[in-house]
Amino acid sequence: MGNPRHRPELLAEKLLAIREFLNLGQQEMAETLKREIISHSRREFQLHPGRISEYETGKREPNLFMLIAYGRLAQVHLESFADDEIPIQEFQSLLGKEVCYVISKDIEQPHVEQQKRKPVTLLRGAY
């Protein structure tokens, strides 16, 4: 059946660090992630709080949409928690500092008062 795909060894620990950074329990984290996914995809997403525990213990790996939601909430780039070359201590120092979401009016349709959140990458030293 082939070899299983490589999983980042530090991912589970980094997902726990994100939840702790946000100061949320597993139930609150599940609700917050669901809201984040709905706000960007406009689709309902079912997430049982027990799944958060499975992510944080390494029993399961979140799908890409879930990882993106974690990154948005923690304001870190996806590669920061997917890359095992970034140790957990360095990752914890990046939380809330790599990406800032700003509200901007839709440029393509200026007559529409629609607002969008757009990511802005913060440069090192600009914290």
Q: What residue ranges do the domains of the chain occupy?
A: 11-98
Amino acid 39: pLDDT: 85
Q: Supply the pLDDT for residue 56.
A: 96
CATH architecture of the domain with range 11-98:
Orthogonal Bundle (1.10)
Rounded CA gap, 30 and 114, in Å? 28
| pLDDT tens figures, 88-126 | 999 999 998 887 765 544 444 444 444 455 555 554 544
d(CA 47, CA 44): 10
Q: What is this structure's pTM?
A: 0.77
Which positions ≥6 away from 70 have C-beta within 8 Å? 15, 18, 33, 62, 81
As given in the structure block, the two tokens for residue 52 are 């958060």
The tokens of 98 are what?
């790599």
| Tens of pLDDT, residues 34-82 | 999 988 777 788 899 999 999 999 999 999 889 999 999 999 999 898 8
pLDDT reported for residue 81: 86
